[in-house]
Structure 1
């Protein structure tokens, strides 16, 4: 997952930075799982372009992305939002996480009580990918895609998992109001991921700083 552009604006849905003026129209489109499957190769190409650091990483990273995408498209409630101008320049994908808590499998230590309760009540939405073409990262597009992706889901909390070694991505999410609640270990590897959450202020009285504080002390 790539990092959204840094912003001083706090997280949530209280607003977003306006998109910069463009020479070509920007078209935002919401896709279901079948439409996403039809665009998977373009999405993988953009992912590789946006994230690759070496030729070998680009090859393996693209394969890993396609494997994740195939798995995620079959999750109930999966949605993708794309931005095209007219070529694909960004997208965000996500789904409501299962109430059984399987999303948190491999979490190191006790899961914060607030997160556990919201998961059991079906009010947590996972953002699985936010990918923006590098030349578009200063236009506020990631903010807009995140906001619209979450808009149609009655969640009280958003979550995402970021590879611990991707420090820029972690910093980007934190700068936009996301909070680090701990580490999560996944196979193969194992891969060590940072679990980040974003309380959605309009839908809960939970204070983001309180949630993050409780996560740190548990």
Structure 2
């Protein structure tokens, strides 16, 4: 049987471990937002509201559909994708938005150049990789952006008539975090570091 003093010490140690773990998660996200390579992606809206979680917009990107001919390491005879990661190399276009130039399952064969960025996504099993296939749809974990209450529907409607973008920070390992929602050149909402 534990004494009262040992029980208190165990509870304090457990609380410190939990606080440390949460701090590690928050600091990791903040490090990406602070130090990640800034990239601007063109977005296409999907849905503005979730009654249980508040206003948000689901975002679809041009890079959410990667043409299969851009994937550089599809093994000969491979007909469908595995449940795996994909690295998509991005380069900035003349319009300021970044787009996919190439992609690889697993890892890129070489690091991105200074004017490029690699974003890592996830591809579900079963995507058609045959020569007739057109595209696959990676998930980058940046499809949802929460907004202040009452803002979702108005922004959703505006996205249908003029271009919006999302400024994203990409860490060296390819993990992405949304930094800001852009209406043309104007920053509408910016994510705080903490």
TM-score by length of 2: 0.25
- Structure having the larger proportion of residues in helix: 1
Question: Greater Rg, structure 1 or structure 2?
Answer: 2
Higher strand share: 2
Q: TM-score, normalised by structure 1?
A: 0.23
